[in-house]
Amino acid sequence: MNLLQVDALNFSYVRDGRRVPAVKSVSLAIAEEEVLGIVGESGCGKSSLARCLVGLSRPDSGRIIMSGADLTHRRSREQRRSMQMVFQDPRSSLNPRMSVFEQIEEGWRTHKAIRPEAPRKVASELLERVGLGTAYLDRRPSELSGGQAQRVSIARALAVSPRLLICDEAVSALDVSVQTQVLKLLAEIRAELNLAMIFISHDLGVVRQISDRVAVMYRGEIVEMEPVETLFQNPRHDYSRSLLGSALDMANI
C-alpha cells in the first residue's frame, strides 16, 4: 500500500470575481520513505497542491488518501500530525514573538501530541538533530540567520513525528552554501527517521539531488512523472525538455 495516494485532485481560487483553476486532475502516489520532487515554473500550481495535501486549502474535488484513510475533507489530529510542511520563507513561518522552544512546544499543543516529560530536553535533542543545539532554545526568529530559521522550522515539523514531510521551496530563499547544508540535513533526516517527502522546487538541480522520482507540473497539471535519472536523461514532454534546457543554459552562464 502507498503511504499517500492522490486521485484526480482539483482546486481553484477566486480572483476578481471569477474562479481560477490552480490544480487540475492531479493524481500521484508516494511510497513509504520515498522522496517525490515536484518541479515547474512559478504559478504552475505546486504550492496550491501542497496546501491541499496538508489541509490548508480545501480541494474542489478528488481524493487524498493516506495509509488507507480518506483525508480529503476531514482529518483527525493524528492524521494532521502525520503530514507536516516546511515553508519557503522560514522567517514568515515562525512567530516573531515566540522563542525557538515555544515554536517547537506550540506543535505539541496545537496537535495535542503527547507532551514529553522533559520538553526542553526533547526540544534540545530536536535542535541537535537539525544541526543547532541548546544555545538556540531561547532565541527569537530575529536572532537567527535564514539557514538557522529553516532548521528550526524543520525541527518544529519533526516534533510531532510526521510520516510525510512536504518541503515547499524550502531552500530557495537560502544562499547556495546554506542550500547544500539544508539538503544534506534533509537527506540525513529521511534516512534516520524513514520519512517520505514531497520536495517542491523550481530548481531542477536541487530536485535532482534529493528525489527518487520527479513530477513536472505545467498549468496545474502533472504532465510527466518519472524516476529522477530517467527524466533528466530522456524527458518525454515538451515542457520538461524546455525546463531542462533552461536549467542547462543557466548553468553555462
Give all domains of the chain, ordered by start, each with its CATH number.
Answer: 1-82+163-253 (3.40.50.300), 91-161 (no CATH)
What pLDDT was estimated at residue 250? 42
Taking the C-alpha atoms of residue 117 and residue 160, their distance in angstroms, rounded to an integer, is 15
Give the per-residue pLDDT at 252. 43
Quick one: pLDDT at residue 251?
A: 46
Lookup: cell for 40: 515547474
Report yes or no: 125 and 72 within 8 Å, Cβ to Cβ. no
- Which residues are 216's β-sheet partners? 39, 224
Structure confidence by residue, pLDDT tens digits, 214-233 = 999 999 999 999 999 999 99
Q: pTM of the entire structure?
A: 0.89
Number of H helices, E strands in the chain: 10, 10
Of 31-35, 88-92, 162-166, which range is least confident? 88-92
d(CA 203, CA 227): 17
Query: Range with the lowest mean pLDDT among 26-30, 173-177, 180-184, 239-243?
Result: 173-177
Q: What are phi and psi of 93, to 5 degrees?
A: -90, -10
DSSP-assigned beta bridge partners for residue 130: none
SS3 state of residue 175: coil
Q: What helix, strand, coil percent values describe the chain, rounded to 5? A: 40, 25, 35
For 38-79, write each residue's pLDDT tens digit. 999 988 999 999 999 999 999 999 999 999 999 998 887 777
The sheet that has 196-201: what strands, in order across it? 83-86, 164-168, 196-201, 35-39, 213-218, 221-227
Its sign, for the CA torsion 177, 183, 186, 191, is negative
Distance between CA atoms of residues 29 and 6, nearest Å: 6
Q: Helix 100-110 crosses helix 119-129 at what angle (to 10 degrees)?
A: 110
One-letter amino acid of 36: L
Angle (CA) 230-233-236 rounded to 5° is 70
